[in-house]
Structure 1
Amino acid sequence: MLKYYNFNLKKYNAYRLSSVCAKAIFPENEEEIIQIYRNNPDKKIILLGNGNNIILSKEYYDALFIILNNCFDRVEINGTEIIAQSGCTMLHLSELALENSLSGFEVFYDIPSSVGGAVFMNAGASGEEIKNLVVKVRYFDLDDFQIKEITRVEIGFEYRNSFFQKNNNKLVLKTWFKLSEGKPEIIKAKMDDIKQKRWAKQPREFPNCGSVFKRPSERFVGPMIDELGLKGFTIGGAQISQKHSGFIVNINNATGKDILSIIKKVQKQVKKKYGVDLEVEQRII
């Protein structure tokens, strides 16, 4: 279990925002995570996976960050079932599935999310959602300091939402996924096609956290922003992507405040012109 003080989180959030926390700990197993919470009852603790769907709104956090990326990431494969700790990335999981001729994770290939983050928000792409592959989840309940398990049905997945978003005191530790047998060449071809299409449409050349807003029922977000003339709009080092208006990118040492300022402007103008309330998909910390 590695510990650091006055730790810069820049490498651990997809926007590459330079935010410092008072203390950061990298646990390797469930026992160490429980120990951290027991030893710090009065300390603000923030759990961080791959940092892909978060906005660090402060430049300094007087808090303890538990970082799961590159440490709490073990994977087991039993037939068509894959069991993964929360710090494992969906990229790595997709590659492991391919190596074992298992189909189901193709659409999540090249999505820079951790398993915990994907389950937390019910990640999805191309009409598919992570909920369709989940069997059950093992989690740590901060209310009574017990480790529990919950089935997919009990989780109550919704569009970009889950039991865990509604209960921030329940921490995803491990997830069981059920895949299906497939031909490696077909799985690989689908993964390559998905990656190519994403790189063609999305601003992968700049740090970003994917789609900023949840898709409203009325209209697509990108076209509304385009029609408002906001494509390329910049505040500080943050910019509405010139490649895809549904993304905000860090073009020059952006801060969380820069990103939040753009979000507020877009929400205000979209509400004024279209009467649509845009809900932020990313988690603001």
Structure 2
Amino acid sequence: MKAYTNFNLKEYNSYRLSAVCRNAYFPEYDEDIRSLFSDPDQKKIVLGGGYNVILSKDYYDADFVIFSGTYNNITLKGEDQISCQAGVDMKDLSEFALANGLTGLEIYYDIPSSLGGAVVMNAGAGGEDIKALLIDVYYYDPNNDTFNTITVEEINFEYRNSFFQKNPEMIVCRALLQLKKGDSDEIKAKMDKTKEARWAKQPREYPNAGSVFKRPPGRFVGPMIDELGLKGYTIGGAKVSEKHSGFIINHANATGSDIMELISNVQGRVKEKFEVDLEVEQRII
């Protein structure tokens, strides 16, 4: 296990915000997970790929456990199942499936996420989500100091919710996925089409963490922000994207406080004009 003191998290959050933590740990084995989390009273902040996260502070007097670049083994089971650890990047996982002629993961070719984060959030797009591929998940329970397996039925997925969101102390270790044999050319074509469509609509040329707000009932976030004339609205280095106003981008060395102030101002303006309370979809740390 790798460990660092006074570690800058800039490369481990997709906004590319500079934020230093007291200690950072990169687990490599199951026993690393046990050693880091076996005492539930010693709180640690868990990061996957840092894709759906806002680091709101410049410094954290806290320990971070980062599942990125390590704890990322992928294994083919039989002809059409994949076992993968929580630190696997979903892009890498989709490419592994392609290399083995397996279909089902194409949409994740350009969804920024780690496997662990995808499981916790039930990540998906275009009517597809991770729960449809899951057989079971192996996780660590610090309350009982045990490693357990939970089936997809027992996880009780809901829209962007799951057993793991309701029990955030549980640590996803790996997942077993059920895919199908497919035509490699068709799989690659769908991956490329998915990427092209997202890049056409989303501000991928700037650091961002995806859609900022959850969609409120009966409304769309982007049109409300557009109507308020807030495309391009800027605080410090943070800006409402001119390409897609549901995104906030780091266009000039933004800080976490820049992003948080921008979010607050947008929420206030939307509330005043439309009587709608925008809920932040991203995880604020």
TM (norm. structure 1) is 0.96
What displacement does 1:156 show? 1.2
Residue pair 1:202, 1:244 contacting (<8 A) in 2 also: yes
What displacement does 1:193 show? 0.6
1:250 equivalent in structure 2:
250
Secondary structure at 1:150 match in 2: strand
1:283 equivalent in structure 2:
283
What displacement does 1:218 show? 1.0
2-structure distance, mates of 1:30, 1:105:
25
What displacement does 1:42 show? 5.2
Alignment of 1:65-80 (within 5 A): 65-78=64-77, 79-80=79-80
1:54 equivalent in structure 2:
53
Alignment of 1:1-285 (within 5 A): 1-38=1-38, 43-78=42-77, 79-285=79-285
Secondary structure at 2:231 match in 1: coil
Structure 2: stretches of 5+ with no match in the other structure? none
1-structure distance, mates of 2:151, 2:114:
19
State the Cα deviation string for residues 193-231 of structure 1 (Å, max 9, x = none): 111111111101100011111122211111111011111
- Tell which deviates more after alignment, 4-13 or 217-226: 217-226
2-structure distance, mates of 1:201, 1:239:
16
Residue pair 2:40, 2:142 contacting (<8 A) in 1 also: no
State the Cα deviation string for residues 89-144 of structure 1 (Å, max 9, x = none): 00000000000111111111111200001111111112211111111111111211
Residue pair 2:48, 2:116 contacting (<8 A) in 1 also: yes
Residue pair 2:122, 2:131 contacting (<8 A) in 1 also: yes
1-structure distance, mates of 2:85, 2:41:
27
What displacement does 1:254 show? 0.8
What displacement does 1:154 show? 1.2
1-structure distance, mates of 2:24, 2:51:
18
State the Cα deviation string for residues 129-186 of structure 1 (Å, max 9, x = none): 1111111111111211111111111111111111111111111111111111110000
Residues 41 and 220 of structure 1: is their aligned pair in 2 closer, same or farther, counting only changes over 3 Å?
closer
What displacement does 1:271 show? 2.1
Residue pair 1:116, 1:173 contacting (<8 A) in 2 also: yes
2-structure distance, mates of 1:102, 1:274:
46
Structure 1: stretches of 5+ with no match in the other structure? none
1-structure distance, mates of 2:190, 2:247:
24
State the Cα deviation string for residues 17-68 of structure 1 (Å, max 9, x = none): 0000011111101111111234x66543111110001111111111111111
Structure 1: which amino acid aligns with 2:97? A
Residue pair 2:40, 2:143 contacting (<8 A) in 1 also: no
Q: What do you get for the CA RMSD once the two structures are aligned?
A: 1.2
Residue pair 1:75, 1:83 contacting (<8 A) in 2 also: yes
Aligned length in residues: 284
Secondary structure at 1:131 match in 2: helix
1-structure distance, mates of 2:176, 2:47:
20
- Tell which deviates more after alignment, 231-240 or 141-150: 141-150
1-structure distance, mates of 2:22, 2:55:
14
- Tell which deviates more after alignment, 262-271 or 227-236: 262-271
2-structure distance, mates of 1:230, 1:266:
8
TM (norm. structure 2) is 0.96
1-structure distance, mates of 2:253, 2:41:
33
Secondary structure at 2:110 match in 1: coil
What displacement does 1:244 show? 0.4
Structure 2: which amino acid aligns with 1:59? D
Secondary structure at 1:109 match in 2: helix
